[in-house]
Amino acid sequence: MKGEYQHIRHGFEPVYDARSRILILGTLPSVKSREQQFYYGHPQNRFWKVLAGVVKETEVPSSVMEKKQFLLKHRIAIWDVIAECDIIGSSDSSIKNVVPADLTRILKAAPIQGIYANGAKAYDLYMKYSYEKTGREIIKLPSTSPANAAFQMNRLLSVWESMLSGFTEDMIEDLGAASQTS
């Protein structure tokens, strides 16, 4: 591992509203995400492509505004387990001196029915720092990071679809019903 440790404070807000039903947690924004001031900003991270596939959207959001609208439309909240830590670059394996994010902020404001970890490290950090405080189970999903070479796009999408299927089917039905009544 090359580079020096930096103390990083999470630089931007979670995305959620009072209708959010799914919470997806990462660890901490990557260097590219911190530069863009939004989640999953590395061009090779498959997060946005996977989510678009899961909710059956043909267009993958690209701008920060489109991504926020996409998440809220589909009742998906995103944030990270870590509020601040020491890290080398974007290397999750280097994370130390963790200060966890206060996830109760989202859990009190929205009827979250499922919490999902985007990768094993987010899952492990949640279990270590947040589970006792929230009392809520979390489901581990394979990471959408380009570093997760074990999962090609089709396999990654298939696992995410199967793990999120109950929630996304309900949300797609809810969206359809809402558009028919408006």
Which sequence positions are flagged as catalytic? 45
- Identify whether the C-beta of residue 108 lies closer than 8 Å to the C-beta of residue 22: no
For 47-82, the DSSP string reads: HHHHHHHHTT-SSPP-SHHHHHHHHHHTTEEEEESE
Classify residue 88 by burial, with Cβ atoms within 10 Å: 0-12, 13-18, 19+: middle
Do 27 and 80 meet the contact criterion of CB atoms below 8 Å apart? yes
Q: How many Cβ atoms are within 10 Å of 9's Cβ, its own excluded?
A: 11
* Residue 139, C-beta contacts closer than 8 angstroms, at least 6 positions apart: 114, 115, 116, 117, 163
Q: Are 105 and 14 in contact (CB under 8 A)?
A: yes
- For the chain, the residue count is 182
